[in-house]
Structure formats: C-alpha cells, structure tokens
Structure 1
Amino acid sequence: MAFIHHTHLLFLIAFILFSLRTAACVASSPESIPVPTPAPWPEQFHALLFMNYSGTLSMIDLWYDWPNGRNFNIIQDQLGGPPLYDLEWNNGTSFFYTLPSSPSPSCRSAQLPVGILRPNWLDGATYLGRTSVDGFLCDHWEKADFIRYYEDVATRRPVHWVFYSGRQAHVMTFDVGAALADEYWQAPAYCFKEGCASGGGGGGGSDSFESVLLRRPLEHI
C-alpha cells in the first residue's frame, strides 16, 4: 500500500510539473506576443537617404514638417548636375525646380488630390517579421502593396524602404526635431509665372516622381 501511495504521489508531482510547463509554453507562444506596429513619424525630422534604382544612385535630403504642412526633397543624382528641389505642400501642390544659379533654371508643378504623408501613414501596414538590413535587426511591414518599410528594433527609427517600383532608400541619418528655416521653403518666382509647366503627374527627376506616386495610393486608404 505504501508503494502504491508513493507511486500516486510521484504521478501527481509529474502531472503538476507538466501542467506548469505547458502553461509556460502557452504564455510564450507567438500568438500571445503582440504584433509590432511601426512607430509614427516624428512631426519634424531631417533624413539623409541614399537611393538606388537598378544601379542609378542619388542622395536625398528629406525635410519633413507636418505642423507647417510641408515636405521637401533635395535630390542630387550621382554626377548628375545641379540638385533638383521637390517641394510638397499639404494642399496637394508640388513644385519641382532647379535654383536660379543653375545653368538652365527650370520649374514644373503638380497638383494632387492628397497632401503630404501623415505622421501615422503606416497605420494598418501588414507585419512581415524580423530581418537584418544594413547591419540592423529590423521589424518590417508592407503598406498597400507599394512600399516595404524597415525599422530598427532597438531604436524604432527607419532604416530602409523598398518602393513597389524597385527603388530602394537606405536611411543614412535620421534627426528627430530638425527643422529647415522658413526662407528655404519658398519656390523661385519663375515657378509662378504664366507658362510655367504644370500637370497632375509631376515632373523632374525620377526620385521626385517616386515622391508624388508614394502619396497617390493614400487617397484610397
């Protein structure tokens, strides 16, 4: 009888240990871990982007200024002459121009039914998991089939973007709170003269097209 009682006790202990282990496994299962969501963009920041599109390289100074409803991309192609300025406003107006000091100053404009990206524009993006990009462990998401967005797990800062066209942006620097002085947000006077080229699709360099196209799908989100 003592042997049977001892056996029952061992069985009870084993059952309790198994139950605790099972509970721990359930608690740590992937289903119980919240799915990461991308950090909203800061309301103001400056980023330096290295762009690559099938071997065509450029650098972009990106100035994002949500409180003032404006976004600025200063695009320098590799060995490609004067910079192209892509100035976007929250009323849907964009100007693509070179400075008066360039050999052939020019300006084009575009009018879109949507403004600049909202700070929470990544809301609703589909989480795709974790991967290493440019030396960083990143969470990454896909938004509306037009961009894949990679964010550093440790700092939650953007690291890499891949557009639906295949163009890639590597985020070299990301300065939260940096702001460009108001005087630099004014398009040249010749952008407002009669005869200045305009249209609904934008103009200028390929990176500026990407900037305009990036906003288009948000009409339907």
Structure 2
Amino acid sequence: MTESAREKREIEAMASKAKFFLILSLLSASVSYSIAEDPVPTPWPLQFHSILLMNYSGIPQIINLWYDWPNGRNFNIIQHQLGNVLYDLEWNNGTSFFYTLDSSKTCSSAQLEVGILRPNWLDGAKYLGQRHVDGFLCNVWEKVDFIWYYEDVETKRPVHWLFYTGRQAHVMTFEVGAVLEDEKWQAPVYCFDGTGTTVNDVALHQNLPLMPDVNNRLLHQNYPAI
C-alpha cells in the first residue's frame, strides 16, 4: 500500500469516527430534550387569594379561596346562588370549622387526618399534554386519578380544576401574595360554647369544595404527607 493510500484510509477512518461521535452527540441531545420537555406544575405561592366559579350538576357557587401556608391555614368562603354563605375554615393541625354568620348560627367542626395542601402538592402529577379550556392554552396534569389540573402555558397561573366527581372549578382571579386580615380567620364563639346550631354533616360536606379530600386521597395513596 502506498503512503498516499494509507493516508487516505486514515483520513476516511477519522472522518467515520467523527461522524459516529456527531450522531451519538445528537442522539444524546435528543434524548435529553425529550426527557426535559414535559413541564412540571408550578408550586402554589405561599399566600394567595383566588375567586373560583364552581359548577357541580348545574349548581353554581362562588368561592373566595384564601391560602396562607406560612400561617398554616386555608379558608373557603362559599356563596350559594341566591342563598347563604358558608365558611369552611381549615387549619394545618387537621381542625376544620364549617359555619354561617347569619342568624341561624350554624356551626360544625371536624378533625381530619391531614392539614392543608402544601404548596408543592402537585409534585409527581402525571403530565397529559396541552388542552384549551376557558379560552386558555393549558398544560394539564392528573393527580392520583382524583383531580385534573389546568395551568396557563404563558403565565403559569391555574385556570381550571376538574375533580373525579365531575365538580369543576374555574379560576376567575389569582392574586399572589394577598393575605386576609387575621381577625377574619377566627371562627365564631358559638362554634366553641355549644350555643350554635349543628347540621347534618353529610349534607353540609356535599356543599364543600373537594381540596381537603385531595389531601386525604394523597395520604391514602401512599404519597408524601401533605
């Protein structure tokens, strides 16, 4: 073999190796991209206020949701259409109060196994892709076959929640950092002194949003305690 022929073969071999490593690099980059391309849900801010339009079997509700993780509390103020206002006050020690502030002085309490949802409660949710809902392009996740969570692709704000029961929450406003005054978090005295009117717990809980149930579901599905 002549010197020139040997050099030509070596050059071809080097070119072949270079091409192999280039293809390997591109494949590696492609795999890395495919792994990283699935978005993850944005953790909830530590404190926020949201107005939710709830719909369940054609029965609408307006809920003022106040979430306050640093102080371990969550508040759902539920307005029924042409009806009363129900207050659902939840604490991180598992204590919840359900009451009205009208003349009926209705109050019921419960001790749950878990407290309020953590800001990262959506960790580990299954990504389902993108959908249009309520006029927004959203990333969608499913959590423990219980809730489908829609988040605006652009702003990362929650847009829509769909529960396994068919109950839907349309997020009308989302105010990051908003905090309700401390005095508004105090359950009325008739919740403690026995003078309040109790109601049927089953009927009462049918009118409540399902976020506490999400917490219990996560707990019993062997997910990290919320």
Q: Same fold (TM over 0.5)?
A: yes
Task: Give the aligned partner of residue 138 of structure 2.
Answer: 138
1:73 pairs with 2:76: yes
Deviations 1:112-170 (A, max 9, x none): 01000000000010000011111111000000111000000101110000011110000
CA distance in structure 1 between the partners assigned to 2:204 and 2:93 by the alignment: 20
Partner of 1:35: 38
TM-score of the superposed pair, with normalisation by structure 1? 0.81
5+ residue gaps, structure 2, are 1-17
**Segments ≥4 residues shifted beyond 4 Å:** 20-30, 195-199
Q: Is the 1:129–1:140 contact (alpha carbons within 8 Å) kept by the matching residues of 2?
A: yes
3-state SS of 2:187 partner = coil
CA distance in 2, matches of 1:123, 1:188: 36
Deviations 1:25-45 (A, max 9, x none): 985677254311000000000
**How far apart in 1 are the matches of 2:192 and 2:216?**
24
3-state SS of the aligned residue for 2:208? Answer: helix
> Normalising by structure 2, what TM-score?
0.80
The answer to whether the 8 A contact 1:60-1:76 is kept is: yes
Aligned with 1:90 (options 89, 92, 96) = 92
The amino acid across from 2:55 in the alignment is N
Which whole-Å CA distance do the structure 1 matches of 2:117 and 2:188 have between them?
24
Cα distance per residue 1:30-77 (max 9 Å; x no partner): 725431100000000000000001111000000000000000000001
Q: Distance in 2 between matches of 1:115 and 1:156?
A: 25
Q: Is the 8 A contact 2:106 2:199 kept in 1?
A: no
- Which secondary structure state, in structure 2, belongs to the residue aligned with residue 208 of structure 1? coil
Match of 2:178 in 1: 178
**8 A Cα contact 1:76 1:83, kept in partner:** yes
* Native 8 Å contact 1:125 1:141 kept in 2: yes
| 1:46 alignment partner AA | H
Q: Which amino acid aligns with 2:214?
A: L
1:12 match: none
* Distance change (3 Å), C-alpha of 1:125 and 1:43: same
The one-letter amino acid of 2:92's match is N
- Is the partner of 1:184 in helix, strand or coil? helix
In angstroms, what is the RMSD of aligned CA positions? 2.6
Percentage identity across paired residues of the two chains: 61
User: Would the alpha carbon gap of residues 88 and 198 (structure 1) be closer, same or farther in structure 2, given more than 3 Å must change?
Assistant: farther
Moved more, 29-38 or 181-190: 29-38
Letter matched to residue 34 of structure 1: E
Structure 1: runs of 5 or more not aligned:
1-15
How many residues align? The count is 201
Q: Distance in 1 between matches of 2:180 and 2:111?
A: 23
